[in-house]
Structure 1
Amino acid sequence: MQQELVDRLAIRDLVENWAIWRDAGDWDRFATVWHDDGVMMATWFQGPARDFIRVTQEGWKKGVRILHFLGGSSIELAGDRAVAQTKMTISQRGDVQGVLCDVVCTGRFYDFIERRDGKWGFVLRQPIYEKDRVDPVDPSATLALDQEAMAAFPEGYRHLAYIQTQIGYVVKRDMPELTGCQVEKLYRYGTDWLAGKPVERL
């Protein structure tokens, strides 16, 4: 029980450090939460963690601000492997057709985590996008969204995808949401990971 508690605390620390160090631009320490083969999946990026760090730094230089707030975690342990689900919000500020807006998306981080040489690290981070909204920073501003363009994006991250495409990102349109085949597939992959199978990504 004592070792399990230590492992759970280490994994929760890993999850929290990801958000703090990434949002603070502490790139050297942010790189330490990943294993060398770690993969990040997001609406606007899918690929190796080292490339995610690089393109995030490039976005920072252009003024892109995507921030994270964490809630509770549920951690499943199986020896040197774990799956952690953590409630979170993603907040992005940007221009939407001339109006400065905040988009907030609520969801979960679904993480495939492994202990290697005594160190826990991320192998795969896959967000689940549950619901989102967009609001003008100035509440008196009038915001007119392209409803046809909005309808082309999944409901769970529709507004987030809209603002990201407005600033030039290509958005993946089949990310897991609160319900549906993609999130069910992700849960199966998590079960397989804990059973010792190779990591699978959507």
Structure 2
Amino acid sequence: MTNEMTDRLAIRDLIENWAIWRDAGDWERFATVWHDDGVMHATWFQGPASEFIRVTKEGWAKGVSILHFLGGTSIDLAGDRAIVQTKMTISQRGDVQGVACDVVCTGRFYDFVEKRDGRWGVVVRQPIYEKDRVDPIDPSARLELDQAAISKFPAGYRHLAYIQTQIGYKVKMDMPQLEGAEVQKLYARGKDWLAGKPL
């Protein structure tokens, strides 16, 4: 097996472990997927990975339910750096105006990863939000959304943002989506990262 194949397997393992350990609440192992300076970007949080773990644990204690499901992965490898894109869904369960609902957002994780001292780790995770929807858990339930409020949120994650604001989170309004200036800036940062430039 070549070094490149070994690196690709290690990176794929890293990405899969992120979702499994985070969603299982295996916080000790989840912390190992990050480098010490790792940064997480999400609709409801932007900051150091260590802080992300802390506030996620607090959310768990309050009953916040956010899970992830992964699809295919594409790895652009350049020496000890890589950009990894992984198809994913984010599923959040919660009350929307008194109705128990699931919100499912489809997109990609866009990860800046690096090999340091022989270990691959996440330096930055930036989701790309492509489309989402909300469904009552009980199909017979009647859900009436505040269309004026929902329309204020970006199209790629408007239902996710809506439910998150309902439970008290402040949502970032300029996250990368399938198209637009923000995702193009992200792609440019990715190219610079692979070329050896600092973030």
TM range (shorter): over 0.9
Residue equivalent to 1:111: 111
Deviating beyond 6 angstroms after TM superposition, the runs of 4 or more aligned structure 1 residues are: none
Residues 31-180 of structure 1: matches in 2 within 5 Å?
Answer: 31-180=31-180
Give the CA deviation at 1:99: 0.2
Residue equivalent to 2:198: 198
Residues 21-40 of structure 1: matches in 2 within 5 Å?
Answer: 21-40=21-40
Residue equivalent to 2:19: 19
Give the CA deviation at 1:102: 0.1
Give the CA deviation at 1:76: 0.4
> How many residue pairs were aligned?
199
- Tell me how large the CA RMSD over aligned residues is: 0.6
Structure 2, unaligned stretches of length 5 or more? none
DSSP-derived class of the 2:142 partner: coil
Structure 1, unaligned stretches of length 5 or more? none
TM-score (norm 2): 0.99
Give the CA deviation at 1:164: 0.3
Cα deviation code 1:76-134 (max 9, x no counterpart): 01100000000000000000000000000000000000000000000000000000000
AA aligned opposite 1:53: I
DSSP-derived class of the 2:187 partner: helix
Cα deviation code 1:126-163 (max 9, x no counterpart): 00000000000000000010111101100000000000
Aligned partners of 2:147 and 2:158: how far apart in 1?
10
DSSP-derived class of the 2:198 partner: coil
Q: Equivalent pairs: percent with the same residue? A: 79
